[in-house]
Structure 1
């Protein structure tokens, strides 16, 4: 029986040592991969910071609308409100005078 126990103990020691070595190798490899990824990230950040930053091109301003076209549009909307019954004749005349005057 002592020979059997010695064989089991030896197998347990060998298996435990193999597991410990395997875990250490895995951790070391993961550390290497993490350092490599960190270096790549920092290099990409550095390159991004080195690129010149330009202000966006100014957007061309839209031309001012024609004042007569604006008045005509307002009168058109005012006429639609009157035809829908929202404005009375008196309110319509007041607003029309305000737009034209």
Structure 2
């Protein structure tokens, strides 16, 4: 019987050691690959989000409104200025008549 107990004890020690080594190896591998798995998960999430937003049309961009045209000059004001230029002698009678016709004709 002492031989039997010794055999059983040896088997128990070998099995216990194998279990402890196996558990330690498993933990080390889990720690080693945890960072890699996190990177893979992040890349998959990013690819999924890109795919989700790729189907949507881009946001609309509106063009700036065209600048407003300058208001049309007041013909009365133009005639007053033209009269002042004629009275001061800058314009001759002929030039005054041409400019006046131009303003009133437009």
TM-score by length of 1: 0.39
| Structure of higher CA gyration radius | 2
TM-score by length of 2: 0.38
